Amino acid sequence: MISSSSLVFAVNGQRFELSNVDPSTTLLEFLRSQTPFKSVKLGCGEGGCGACVVLLSKYDPVVDQVEDFTVSSCLTLLCSVKGCSITTAEGVGNSKAGFHPIQERFAGFHASQCGFCTPGMCVSLFSALVNADKTNRPEPPPGFSNLTVSEAEKAIAGNLCRCTGYRPIADACKSFAADVDMEDLGLNSFWKKGESDEVKLSRLPPYNHSNASSKFPEFLKKEIKAGANLVSEGHRWHRPISVQQLQSLLEMDENNDGTLTKLVVGNTGTGYFKEFQCYERYIDLKNIPELSIIRKDQTGIEIGAAVTISKAIQALKEENEYEFHQGKMVFKKIADHMEKIATAFIRNSGSVGGNLIMAQRKQFPSDIATILLSVGTLVNIMTGQKLEKLTLDEFLEMPPLHSRSVLLSIKVPLWKSGINKDISSQTDAKLLFEAYRAAPRPLGNALPYLNAAFLAEVSLCSTGVMLNDCQLAFGSYGTKHSIRARQAEEFLTGKVLSAGVLYEATKLLGSTITPEDGTSNPAYRSSLAVGFLFEFLSPLVDTPAEILRGWLNGYNGAEWFIDSKVKQNNGQFDEIKLPTLLSSAKQVIQASKEYCPVGEPIPKTGAAIQASGEAVYVDDIPSPKNCLHGAFLYSTEPLARVKGIKFNPGLPDGVTALITVKDIPGENLGFWSIFGEEPLYADEVAQCIGDRIAFVVADTQKHADLAAEHAVIDYDKENLEPPILSVEEAVERCSFFEVPPFLCPEQVGDFSKGMAEADHQILNAELKLGSQYYFYMETQTALAMPDEDNCIVVYTSNQSPEYAHDTIAKCLGLPGHNVRVITRRVGGGFGGKAIKSIPVATACALAAYKLQHPVRIYMNRKTDMIMAGGRHPMKITYSVGFKSNGKITALKLDILIDAGIYSDVSFVMPEHMVGTLKKYDWGALSFDIKLCKTNLPSRSAMRAPGEVQASFITEAIIEHIASTLSIEPDSIRNINLHTYSSLNFFYKNNAGEPLEYTLPSIWDNLATSSSFYHRTEMIKEFNRSNIWQKRGISRVPTVHEVALRPTPGKVSILKDGSIVVEVGGVELGQGLWTKVKQMTAYALSLVQCGGTEELLEKVRVIQVDTLSLIQGGMTAGSTTSESSCEAVRLCCNVLVERLTALKEKLLEQRGSVEWETLIIQAYLSSVNLSASSLFIPGISSTSYLNYGAAVSEVEINLLTGETTILRTDIIYDCGQSLNPAVDLGQIEGAYVQGIGFFMLEEYPTNSNGLVIANGTWTYKIPTVDTIPKQFNVEILNSGHHQNRVLSSKASGEPPLTLAVSVHCATRAAILEARRQLVSWNGLDESNAAKFLQLKVPATMPVVKELCGLDSIQKFLQWTMGSE
């Protein structure tokens, strides 16, 4: 073994040489703590979000080639990058050396909002470009790369974004693709609508594909030597270069009993199986030739266990000697399925062997195990000197593999027809192979509910298609490992396929595929197995006559018939297989010139430095000297006394303190405001799961997190009441928060009178809604630094710096002027950083104050998800009266809201809910809304708090009425839309002028622009002719009430004419700084001197600082941007007034005056060039209504329950938009977040209320493959609104409520499926018309269950009966 004590590699071309590296250090930890490159972000620590992606380049001196691929730096171990070159987003391009066209296009296509995920996106796309341009494809047109549109979209399929809704990101990526249609690219700042393709291309930041490669440093090429042994204190990292060296290392373990050794290839397994122990020895398997081989011969492909999944895919797909062989099809389909495993950046480093070992030892739900099991794969294992060859089946059935045993390689056989070598195969037999998975995301990055792979040999006989042999494998359904369904195989072998045979086979499968106790959705998973087998075999079931005709016409019967049937099959089951994910989308905006540059769709301020990773977030601020790091200890019991805290053995070095309630010098406050207060730490009794108990402080974040994991809290529940864990229990025990009278909404009309007028009534129907997690990409974070004279400075990612300031001062017992809170930008908030970030900042401040050291925290995703609380769950009971034509006369609602343990901002919920509940004319509206106090984490505001739940409630009631009357829901909506007079009756003063009520025209225009009625008819036709897919369409309105709050502003003009602006509002990604810059430039241009048209470039908006600008309040409720703009306008008006007299004087003297001259003269004349203001909205302009409507069309797959959103059309009234590009981003992003709530995101807890979906493996937000395939948005510029800020209206939250249209369309599609099911049962269709309760979220299991878990059995029985 060659020994060299140092680790040499490059980052962005810089050489790094390290010695004494702790082998457990990840590349991310090193980059973020030891280099200036902060673009790599920690989003999840699981390889599930893409925020930490880097490009890894490896040089092979033998062939003189560089291999470039993305990896997750949060999982990649630093020691494994020896000799590699790392490129981060800063290395792709930056503000000093020049931005890369990727970064410029991301900015120009408005593809970055909060910007936290953008560097990872850019690196993912950069890698795709570098690799596409290495291919030997034809030369692309100038300005383009060799990338295809489909590859461009898939490049970012593993990257999560919570802000944009993905459409603009996909467009930025597609702009590089050689086959893109320029017409398909959406709104951007490069060209105007209607310009020619040539002009468009000339305006794009130029891309030259010939110098696109990643630059591998020359110095590193020279230094690359063979594998070396890296030694550091107490830890060892070994790089054996032969099997013999590996054997001797493993033998040393055997002798040093109990040495904890870890075998490593990509270390991606730690993303799933979290590790809290320290290993004494790491063995890197990547340099052992036997483990890295790919060998092909006439018997199959042998793949080394250390070969990455990506390389295995490549090997299986390569054009080679198997070209005209049936087995080639098997290899290709295995590869296609493998491309849906995890994400590209995980497949690039995770190994095939590692995946199988996790499946064998730790019951990992592996796709690879299932697909390889179906094709009879063999495995080679080495234990000591002993080598053995096993079938994969035997390998999976064995007890967990001994730690000394190593999986060397696997062998995938080359299949010829004739699965069973003993049966002499028929000459015209045909081999069939398919692999399946049902998962919440079509492109991968999600574990399947079940996966399956089937290999079969079929041939024709006089009575039909004979199944000569088959191998059926299933896995990931809540079982120890993948299995072969032997009973079903034996039953099917030798049978002529018919409905009856299939029916018997499905019965056998039902008893074989049985998930273990505790598995979620067990019946659904079993039904998937039946569905996939049916999809595989049903095309081969047919009448003999058709077959015989094929024979008689002299075709090679089997080939022709089976090929044609399998082709039909693919058309029958797959949702429309679009070659690309997204088809063209339309964005219709009207830019306004009236208040230029306000109203122009300029790119978001700072988008380019967000794309290059140079934008500084709280955790990017370099750690001050002697900085400590903290982590919370929280309660895992819902109500218990805390008797003591101990730490298990194995506590890391570097733990310095444990801060508890006893260390608080002032009041025990984690949050304090007019809304109420909550303690920072539990005082004796922990009140809920996730309640903060203590704060452990250590020398690194990793050590603090490990210490928190090692903590053991001693609880005592004696003499305590049982905890309240549901709204029902809260009602029983009268546990409520009292809503202050000024926040109580008013009832509307006379409910009893309305009910008396009704022809029909629905009484006491129930609905339930669960929670939703914010999933901001940047978790809660803060940095606190003690300052001179008993002061403290706190940097926090926070929507309410003013409230944090007040809380910290009270908690530390300091006067307010000793505390300074600073927030520059927030990596996503959505309400989760309005209140929930305050205790995080306060805990850091307290620790820093007590220890007199800087203290920071970056909360890990799991803790964040457990403590976040999220959206308010609720239970709703409603009674409604209506006429026979569907006109509603009265509605009564009893709503129980689960507020959790502390009030947080829950007091605003009733008002918010009622604001949206009033969107239809109910005749009369009566309600009783109770805030239930439970022993669960307090719920907080989440984007459209209360409103999104209310939008669901209103539409569920509309659909219930439609179902009762057997009338289309759209007709019920139509007849109950407000007239202006009913709007006035329901909303009183906030209804505005009649001309401002744009909803009726939006409603009608949307029907036209979306071809709603025509498509409704087309869908009926589609549903008649398709058995296993059904479509639905729905149109819904929104009426959304918002309110402005007092907001401060300050504008200062510097001597050189540049302008600095401060506002109370925080930049969260919503474009607040951009709109404020535009407003400043417009308002100062009114001084009317030379050069004011250039003012936009001279304005900089700076961070919120609570000592510089007071009364900043909270950035929330969609209106902070406009009120910040108005505050700035007031400042500018003052400055313009001060400058005008001077300007007039200078004009008399000189005849003309430039801006710079005017400002210099103002300085010389001692004109005050700083103005501050507090905008206070007038009574008539405090609250107003927003209007919009959406049409969504979906297709559901009846076999899996998968819902595909085919198209969404939105028209939304932005008044006169301050920036249509920013507002468009808000509309699309909010809508997609709404899709998450209604369709995907489950936030379940155990029976104690502890969150169990606590990471990217279990919590699924929308991805680029789950958004509408076609996404059309029109921003209505509805003209003048006297009481609005320059006639503008809000856009941040109202569009989220429109996502209910997807849920309603899904319900319509399910209804069609149920009608069909009822007809198979021989019942009357009226049986299907009963009102359908569709849960939120309408996940795949929910949809499938409503379509009938046994629909295939019912169909087969019906088929047998009709035969």
- Residues 212-259 pLDDT 10s: 677 899 999 888 855 445 555 456 899 999 999 999 998 887 777 667
Neighbours of 1276 (CB within 10 A): 21
Residues in Cβ contact with 101 at an 8 Å cutoff, skipping those fewer than 6 apart: 176, 204, 205, 206, 207
pLDDT value of position 1279? 79
Region class of 528: left (phi > 0), else alpha (psi between -120 and 50), else beta: alpha
Tell me the pLDDT band of 1172, cut-offs 50, 70 and 90.
very high
Average pLDDT over residues 682-694: 97
pLDDT value of position 526? 97
Neighbours of 364 (CB within 10 A): 20
Q: How close are the terminal C-alpha atoms of the chain, in Å?
A: 73
Residue 61: closest CA among 206, 226, 183: 226
CA Rg value for the chain: 32
pLDDT value of position 547? 53
pLDDT value of position 1362? 80
Residues in Cβ contact with 886 at an 8 Å cutoff, skipping those fewer than 6 apart: 961, 962, 965, 967, 971, 972, 975, 976
pLDDT value of position 575? 43
| Cα atoms in the Cβ-side hemisphere of radius 13 Å centred on 599 | 19
Identify the weakest region by mean pLDDT among 5-9, 1170-1174, 1232-1236: 5-9
Q: Which two tokens stand for residue 323?
A: 């070209």
- 2 vs 1021, higher pLDDT: 1021
pLDDT digits (tens, 9 = 90+) for 879-919: 999 999 999 999 999 999 999 999 999 999 999 999 999 99
Q: Which two tokens stand for residue 1209?
A: 């059309």
Vertex 1233 angle, CA 1228 and 1239, to 5°: 120
d(CA 467, CA 487): 15
Query: Coil, strand or helix: which one is 582?
Result: coil
Distances (CA, A) of 845 to 628, 814, 1242: 12, 12, 34
- For 809, phi then psi, to 5°, come to -60, -45
In percent, the amount of the chain with pLDDT more than 70 equals: 94
d(CA 454, CA 256): 46
Q: Which two tokens stand for residue 969?
A: 């829901």
pLDDT value of position 2? 37
pLDDT value of position 939? 98
- Residue 255: in which H helix or E strand, if any? helix 243-255
pLDDT digits (tens, 9 = 90+) for 1159-1168: 999 999 999 9
Tell me the pLDDT band of 1327, cut-offs 50, 70 and 90.
low
pLDDT digits (tens, 9 = 90+) for 557-606: 445 555 555 555 554 554 444 457 887 899 999 888 899 999 999 999 99
Average pLDDT over residues 810-830: 98
Q: Which two tokens stand for residue 485?
A: 């369904």
What average pLDDT does the chain have?
Answer: 93
Does this model's pTM top 0.85? My answer is yes
Beta bridge partners of 411: 302, 378
Q: Where are the alpha helices (DSSP H) in 625-715?
A: 701-710
Average pLDDT over residues 698-723: 97
d(CA 1065, CA 1226): 16
- Checking if the pLDDT of 3 tops 60, the result is no
Query: Coil, strand or helix: which one is 266?
Result: coil
- 254 vs 950, higher pLDDT: 950
pLDDT value of position 1283? 86
Residues in Cβ contact with 549 at an 8 Å cutoff, skipping those fewer than 6 apart: none
d(CA 197, CA 340): 35
Average pLDDT over residues 1042-1068: 98
Residue 1338: closest CA among 1239, 1267, 1233, 1201: 1239
pLDDT value of position 663? 98
Q: Directed axis angle between helix 1120-1150 and helix 1072-1085, to 10°?
A: 30
| Cα atoms in the Cβ-side hemisphere of radius 13 Å centred on 1093 | 2
Residue type, 209: H
Rounded-to-10 torsion of CA 1175, 1180, 1181, 1184: 150
Residue 1200: closest CA among 1010, 1071, 1351: 1351
Average pLDDT over residues 1223-1247: 98
- Checking if the pLDDT of 989 tops 60, the result is yes
Tell me the pLDDT band of 1330, cut-offs 50, 70 and 90.
confident
pLDDT value of position 542? 72
Tell me the pLDDT band of 473, cut-offs 50, 70 and 90.
very high
Q: What is the 3-state secondary structure (H, E, C) of 867-899?
A: HCCCCCCEEEEEEEEECCCCCEEEEEEEEEEEE
- Say if residues 428 and 408 touch (Cβ distance below 8 Å): no
- Say if residues 638 and 1249 touch (Cβ distance below 8 Å): yes
Residues in Cβ contact with 992 at an 8 Å cutoff, skipping those fewer than 6 apart: 1184, 1185, 1281, 1283
Q: Which two tokens stand for residue 133?
A: 């341009």
Tell me the pLDDT band of 424, cut-offs 50, 70 and 90.
very low
pLDDT value of position 193? 86
In percent, the amount of the chain with pLDDT more than 90 equals: 87
Residues in Cβ contact with 1077 at an 8 Å cutoff, skipping those fewer than 6 apart: 605, 1061, 1096, 1099, 1100, 1101
Q: Where are the alpha helices (DSSP H) in 339-438?
A: 344-347, 352-362, 367-374, 392-397
Residue 106: closest CA among 171, 39, 185: 171
pLDDT value of position 309? 98
pLDDT value of position 429? 86
Query: Coil, strand or helix: which one is 1279?
Result: coil
Residues in Cβ contact with 55 at an 8 Å cutoff, skipping those fewer than 6 apart: 68, 69, 70, 86, 87, 88, 91, 92, 123, 126, 127, 130, 214
Strands 85-87 and 65-72: unpaired
**Residue 370 class from Cβ within 10 Å (0-12 exposed, 13-18 middle, 19+ buried)?**
buried
pLDDT value of position 235? 63
pLDDT value of position 550? 53
- Checking if the pLDDT of 1325 tops 80, the result is no
d(CA 581, CA 1263): 11
- Residue 1148: in which H helix or E strand, if any? helix 1120-1150
pLDDT value of position 26? 97
Tell me the pLDDT band of 1281, cut-offs 50, 70 and 90.
confident
pLDDT value of position 1224? 98
d(CA 996, CA 564): 59
Burial 775-808 (b: 16+ CB within 10 A, else e): bbbbbbbbbbbbeeeebbbbbbbbbbbbbbbbbb
Residue 1294: closest CA among 1118, 1036, 1066: 1118
Beta bridge partners of 229: 3
pLDDT value of position 227? 47
Average pLDDT over residues 825-849: 98
- For 672, phi then psi, to 5°, come to -145, 130
Average pLDDT over residues 690-718: 97
pLDDT value of position 583? 78
pLDDT digits (tens, 9 = 90+) for 764-804: 999 999 999 999 999 999 999 999 999 999 999 999 999 99
Average pLDDT over residues 970-984: 98
